[in-house]
Amino acid sequence: MSLTTPLRGVVPPVCTPLDSRGEVDTASLARLVEHLVDGGVHGLFALGSTSEVAYLTDEQRATALRTVVEATAGRVPVLAGVIDTTTARVIHHAEAAAGLGADALVATAPFYTRTHPEEIAGHFRKLRATVDLPLFAYDIPVAVHSKLSAALVRELAEDGTLAGLKDSSGDEGGLRRLLVELGGRGGRGVGPAPGFSVLTGSELTVDAALLAGADGVVPGIGNVDPAGYVRLYEATLTGDWTLAAQEQERLVELFGMVDVGPEADMGRSSSALGSFKAALQLLGVIECGATAFPQIPLSAGAVAEVGRHLRAAGLSPVR
Amino acid sequence: MSLTTPLRGVVPPVCTPLDSRGEVDTASLARLVEHLVDGGVHGLFALGSTSEVAYLTDEQRATALRTVVEATAGRVPVLAGVIDTTTARVIHHAEAAAGLGADALVATAPFYTRTHPEEIAGHFRKLRATVDLPLFAYDIPVAVHSKLSAALVRELAEDGTLAGLKDSSGDEGGLRRLLVELGGRGGRGVGPAPGFSVLTGSELTVDAALLAGADGVVPGIGNVDPAGYVRLYEATLTGDWTLAAQEQERLVELFGMVDVGPEADMGRSSSALGSFKAALQLLGVIECGATAFPQIPLSAGAVAEVGRHLRAAGLSPVR
Amino acid sequence: MSLTTPLRGVVPPVCTPLDSRGEVDTASLARLVEHLVDGGVHGLFALGSTSEVAYLTDEQRATALRTVVEATAGRVPVLAGVIDTTTARVIHHAEAAAGLGADALVATAPFYTRTHPEEIAGHFRKLRATVDLPLFAYDIPVAVHSKLSAALVRELAEDGTLAGLKDSSGDEGGLRRLLVELGGRGGRGVGPAPGFSVLTGSELTVDAALLAGADGVVPGIGNVDPAGYVRLYEATLTGDWTLAAQEQERLVELFGMVDVGPEADMGRSSSALGSFKAALQLLGVIECGATAFPQIPLSAGAVAEVGRHLRAAGLSPVR
Amino acid sequence: MSLTTPLRGVVPPVCTPLDSRGEVDTASLARLVEHLVDGGVHGLFALGSTSEVAYLTDEQRATALRTVVEATAGRVPVLAGVIDTTTARVIHHAEAAAGLGADALVATAPFYTRTHPEEIAGHFRKLRATVDLPLFAYDIPVAVHSKLSAALVRELAEDGTLAGLKDSSGDEGGLRRLLVELGGRGGRGVGPAPGFSVLTGSELTVDAALLAGADGVVPGIGNVDPAGYVRLYEATLTGDWTLAAQEQERLVELFGMVDVGPEADMGRSSSALGSFKAALQLLGVIECGATAFPQIPLSAGAVAEVGRHLRAAGLSPVR
């Protein structure tokens, strides 16, 4: 499905189910896609941070993306993360993603190396010029340790390099400034970059981002409860901000599951992604809740706590 | 005026006008208080970061607070910042503030030293036990370089140590989680800490914070346009989120003035506080736009740009 | 004693013994001064970070400095820390220190606020112009969260603003570049800033800093074992780098005491300063090992571990 | 050449010369290897950060490593960086490096993702168990944004997982503590991890690191002046610390070339690696000084400044 612009709505970053040997469980992944599309989502983001893309080999990335594209079967657009340290390596992934049928690409600034706004601009421009797919910038300082400035994003939006931004920076004030510069609530679609899409990755403040004029959301915990985010999004379309906020509050409570793994024992990725996958297993969507090595598995007690979070949010574990 | 709890509404952090010698200009400060109360604000926060408290001697702090208390004359509550490195020094300021008639105190975690949540908890408890005024925690990692965790704030809210939180952390997701834990939109006032007030210092996303259930806002640029924030706040009381967001967008554009000073030439405090004071001077509220030494003064060109921001936001410079 | 320039040798940052009520124990402090001067140190740094200056009220700071000056009785120069957020507040402390007989001042960059190199330069110049005592810059990013650049230090060294640098930045490569720019090992004393003194606060690599041409050291654990640092320093004067390194290794092992307090229970300041004071109490130098509130006291087990560190380093507890 | 343990001496991280199309210039790379071996170095580190490994595709990495191994022809051991985000991806590189004849592997902690000491330990253990080559841990927080603790390194040294550490953390105090724990100057080789090699990447304080008992150095600017680092190292073997420090000072001045590119215009990688490559071109070692895209090229003026640095350090440009 080709991307209509600007991309709007709920676009979950699809988890990558793994089997007990650590390989991509394509049957579970296809079921997860069905779970998400059934939930009413407006797009899928494969190979994002939540997919454990940083843990997947090139072959595993290809398997995951191919499975998502095939299972989606054009019902919604599929965005593909092309996550690597610098331009030449990212282009390699971008060409692979294009070959596998991705509808758009999502790339971060260079990482590992010490970079600069001029270099980041060159990076995005070269990517766009080399692989002919709409390109989203992925602003995720917690992973790449630099922040895309509003000025840089705006420049690349206005000159057509970027089709959109996935903002996982957590800098809601900065995002608001960018949205206002792009035309604000009224002016999006007619402002200086009319087709440009702003998606927030801040899944706890989606009502707020949509009130501010963002186009959509990429919620990690949307893997678990896609229909909840769709209800939230739809409430905002009708201007029912109170309903949107109530739905957001329920999702905030559900999100509490990311802390089930003790910080003394494991990294925040192990705990958060582990809880999402445990929830999907408990809900019967995927077969096995394992995260990729060397992440630390959740204990049985932690998984039980995930189950309590599900029930408290009105979701029904089947295991 | 004694504080009714929870404190709600618009509580600007009052700028401290200085004369050309760097001393507190009490006449201008009294006019600023009038400007703010006339604008409809619900409280005043003296000696906050925006007051340049870190630049003021103890004598200047006393002069500023005394002036604010007297000029306010009980029309709204006056909160006083008691900003210093650790407990004994903060208590010194707290006792001075109590003697000068402050209605509540606002304190940060210890800074300069390397601290710990247990030490921070002890710090707030000792303050509360020593000086009998409602105590607000001021979460401002950009200044003190530690973050108050939601767990710590909640503990100190529930045991009555804290009357409220001024959240300038910029962590809107964390704030949402805290608000939900405290009862959410519906449960504030009946939740686990019913009199506890949550005020956001994130002045660009006030509509969002209020939608999330925050009680009010402490906006630096509220010095310049208090009536704008009051309109925003009142729109949310009637559930008119669209109007609130439109007012917020106008204020976001106005806020653009903080960047008038080039980063190559001066610190972000010099530029932001300099722009607020230049605006107040242009509006005829204060006599002189000088910031405290060693902050760098704005150039004439930068001041002219502040004037353009005022006019674009519908405010009318008189100079 | 007036300062001869450049200041050279071992200049410990003097701890501030407190009694059980948290007040300065002047008798213990006088004994500590004697312990240090007896150990052969070349100067004393009162009211540094190790003195818990950030925890002391103005009155306590005055008591501590007065006691150090009187107990020293001109045998070595006394440097006084003037630690506060910005220029006007620092000048207040500087005038007090000058009145109490300090031989030199030690000031950091502004903190709490967001500053800038131009502002920092103005800060040091104003201090130097206002209070007529030799001025040392205290580069301590872990406390003030900005780093003094080599270019800035060099500029202020060459124009006579600064008499020296106390480098607690931990950036040994940057320090080496500065030392080379100032003339290197051979050129110190005849280079572009001949009277300028470079003192390292990195107490675990003093042999290295002296090999690189630094003039001396300000070692926190020099409170506990001043004679060890003096032996290290003297070994380097005779070119016996092997002996210097052996002495440094013994001091590194002794320094292990700073970790006796568990990170889960207390801040790094509580643990490190608590261990120094526990050691001084065990050695019979001071009466009570308490640190200032809200630091967490060491457990009895932790104090016993401090004793083991002392004995392993050849020091003899008397309690 | 198989690695004798512990690895000692000067082990430069070999630059990867590129041609004007951005491809690996194997002829220049072979000449660079000759330049380094002629300079007397004790090992070569291919595919380190200085090699621009983060910019090279898998094919380019293979070409570079193959060229280094073949040109070295067993005269010194060749270590190969295996830089990627997490374990499975790193193993892919490790197997490639083993197949190309590397004598040892150098791996960082996981990056991009949020990790944890337990996960890092598992990562190194799995690598060591999967590919049978000596494994060095590469501690480089500026790139991977986590620090390897001394406790973790010591554990993995003592259990045989690690053959050594390349410490580019800049934490010289922490390194000293580790060295003392491993037996100190006298005890290396007989301490708790006798074959373990500690190499510093802090090229400005090599004399200091060797005085502290480090085994060797991995100096980026050793590409330009390998013989200088070899002289420095050899001086320390004979205990001539004064000569070592003088050589270090000359190299510190030479290192000043890394700042030739203005920070306003380019990242620190572009400037530093650009200056090394410009120097190698001026010295006639490599054909073209280009760095990999999207790094910004040095201006002609910057290259001329590199030439001045060379001449000041007694090196003779031939172009």
Between chains, do A54 and D126 touch, taking CB under 8 Å as contact? no
Q: Which of A170, A211, A213 sits opposite B171 (nearest CB)?
A: A170
Closest by CA position to C89, among listed B55, D196, B194, A48? B55
Q: Cα–Cα distance between C276 and A138 in angstroms, integer?
A: 48
Residue D7 has pLDDT above 80, yes or no: yes
Contacts of A147 (CB under 8 A, 6+ apart): A139, A141, A169, A171, A174
Closest by CA position to C96, among listed C85, C84, C108? C84
User: What per-residue string of b and e applies to A100-132 under the rule 16 or more CB within 10 Å gives b?
Assistant: bbbbbbbbbbbbbbbbbbbbbbbbbbbbbeebe
Q: Cα–Cα distance between B42 and B11 in angstroms, integer?
A: 6
User: What per-residue string of b and e applies to A264-288 under the rule 16 or more CB within 10 Å gives b?
Assistant: eebbbbbbbbbbbbbbbbbbebbbe
In a domain, B20, yes or no: yes
Cβ atoms within 10 A of the Cβ of C137, count?
Answer: 25
Burial degree of A27 (CB within 10 A; 0-12, 13-18, 19+): middle
Mutate to test the interface with C, among B116, B145, B263, B266 (most CBs of C within 10 A): B116
How, if at all, do strands C164-167 and C197-200 pair?
Answer: parallel
DSSP secondary structure, D214-228, as one string: --EE--GGGGT-HHH
In a domain, C71, yes or no: yes
- Return the sign of the alpha-carbon dihedral for residues B262, B268, B272, B273: negative
DSSP A11: -
Q: C118 is written with which tokens?
A: 């131009």
**pTM listed for this prediction:** 0.97
Q: Cα–Cα distance between A32 and A281 in angstroms, integer?
A: 10
DSSP A185: H
DSSP secondary structure, A258-287, as one string: GG-S-TTTS-HHHHHHHHHHHHHHHTTSSS
Q: What are the tens digits of pLDDT across the range D180-235?
A: 999 988 766 678 888 999 999 999 999 999 999 999 999 999 999 999 999 999 99
In a domain, A315, yes or no: no
Between chains, do A296 and D268 touch, taking CB under 8 Å as contact? no
Burial degree of A37 (CB within 10 A; 0-12, 13-18, 19+): middle
Q: How far is CA C6 from the centre of its chain?
A: 16
Q: What is the pLDDT of residue B199?
A: 98
Q: Å from B294 to nearest chain C CA? A: 5
Q: What is the largest CA-CA distance in chain D?
A: 52
Q: What are the tens digits of pLDDT across the range A171-216?
A: 999 999 999 999 988 766 678 888 999 999 999 999 999 999 999 9
In a domain, B137, yes or no: yes
Between chains, do B212 and A205 touch, taking CB under 8 Å as contact? yes
Q: Using CB atoms, list chains with 3+ pairs below 8 Å to chain B.
A: A, C
In a domain, C110, yes or no: yes
Q: What are the tens digits of pLDDT across the range B173-211?
A: 999 999 999 998 876 667 888 899 999 999 999 999 999
Q: Å from B236 to nearest chain C CA? A: 33
In a domain, B166, yes or no: yes
The answer for D24, left when phi > 0, alpha when psi is -120 to 50, beta otherwise, is: beta
Q: Which of B54, B122, B270 sits opposite C294 (nearest CB)?
A: B122
Q: Which domain holds residue B145?
A: 9-240
Name the interface residues of B facing C (CB cutoff 8 Å): 22, 49, 54-58, 60, 83, 85-89, 92, 110-116, 118-120, 122-123, 126, 142-145, 265-270, 292-296
Q: A181 is written with which tokens?
A: 């510069």
In this prediction, residue B319 has a pLDDT band, given cuts at 50, 70 and 90, of: confident
Residue A1 has pLDDT above 70, yes or no: no
What is the residue type of A55?
Y
In a domain, C284, yes or no: no
Q: Cα–Cα distance between B207 and A179 in angstroms, integer?
A: 14
Asked if residue A44 lies in contact with residue A32, where contact means CB atoms within 8 angstroms, the answer is no
Q: What are the tens digits of pLDDT across the range B66-115?
A: 999 999 999 999 999 999 999 999 999 999 999 999 999 999 999 999 99
Q: What angle do CA B277, B281, B283 make, to 5 degrees?
A: 115
- Mean pLDDT within A216-237: 98
H or E segment and range at residue A217: strand A216-217
Q: D167 is written with which tokens?
A: 């410490």
Closest by CA position to D281, among listed D25, D109, D54, D72? D25
Closest by CA position to A212, among listed A248, A237, A184? A184
Closest by CA position to D68, among listed D138, D9, D8, D16? D16
> In terms of CA atoms, which chain D residue is nearest residue A265?
D118
Q: Å from C252 to nearest chain D CA? A: 6
Supply the CATH number for residue A170's domain: 3.20.20.70
pLDDT < 50 positions in chain C: none
Closest by CA position to C50, among listed C258, C253, C248? C258
In a domain, C168, yes or no: yes
Q: What is the pLDDT of residue A251?
A: 98
Name the domain count of chain A: 1
Size of interface A-B (CB pairs under 8 A): 89
Q: Quote the ipTM score.
A: 0.97
- The sheet carrying D135-139 orders its strands as D9-10, D216-217, D197-200, D164-167, D135-139, D104-107, D78-81, D44-46
Q: Cα–Cα distance between C11 and C50 in angstroms, integer?
A: 12
HSE, CB side, 13 Å, CA atoms: give it for residue C101: 16
Q: What is the pLDDT of residue C1?
A: 62
Q: Cα–Cα distance between D1 and B251 in angstroms, integer?
A: 68
Helix, strand or coil for residue D41? coil
Mutate to test the interface with D, among C243, C250, C252, C254 (most CBs of D within 10 A): C252
Between chains, do B208 and A204 touch, taking CB under 8 Å as contact? no
